[in-house]
Structure 1
């Protein structure tokens, strides 16, 4: 059985790790739907998935978003309001460590 954590608990964890308030934003394109935990001042309008770079995000004007996105959750890790704990979860540009996973579970 896969271990999961609630979206609310992950949001709290991300806020503690980044020391910033976050909001939830769901965006999608023709290929995928992703959930983002972003700071309130981030203006993200679209994204593409690049084979080399991963997710590339753009603002309303079509300019690349240069700020680091606190948390990107691909569709594959979402199980309703639960998140599958896997190495695919990126917080502050880094995959979750074993210590991060332990604190989320506990």
Structure 2
């Protein structure tokens, strides 16, 4: 059985872990659609999926974003308003840990 949580619960958890408010941003390119939970001051314009580095995000001027993205949800993890908890989900550039998953499922 796949374990899922609502997008709202995940957003609240990310805000609790980062101590910052987040907004939801959906982006897509030719290969994929992703959902981001970012702080309101982040200006992300585009992204690519690099085989070595994973997702690389760019600002409006085309420069790579250096700061950590609070949460990156790949297309395969999001199903409507539900999120399947997998290692593909990244919080602050780290895969979702077992402790994070356990806390989300409480």
Q: TM-score range by the shorter chain?
A: over 0.9
Aligned residues: 106
Which residue number in structure 1 is paired with residue 48 of structure 2? 48
**Structure 1: 5+ residue runs without aligned partners?**
none
| Aligned residue runs from structure 1 range 47-86, under 5 A | 47-86=47-86
Structure 2 residues without counterparts, runs of 5 or longer: none
User: What is the alpha-carbon root mean square deviation over aligned residues?
Assistant: 0.7
Question: Aligned equivalents of 1:52 and 1:75: distance in 2?
Answer: 19
* Residue 28, structure 1, aligned to residue 5, structure 2: no
- Paired with 2:53 and 2:96, the residues of 1 have a C-alpha distance of 19
Q: Shift in Å at residue 93 of structure 1?
A: 1.4
- Cα distance in 2 between the residues matched to 1:85 and 1:66: 26
TM-score with structure 2 length normalisation? 0.97
TM-score, normalising length: structure 1? 0.97
Report the Cα distance in structure 2 between the residues aligned to 1:27 and 1:17, rounded to whole angstroms.
23
> Once the 2 structures are TM-superposed, how far is the Cα of residue 30 of structure 1 from its aligned partner?
0.4
How far apart in 2 are the matches of 1:34 and 1:97?
20
CA shift for structure 1 position 97: 1.5
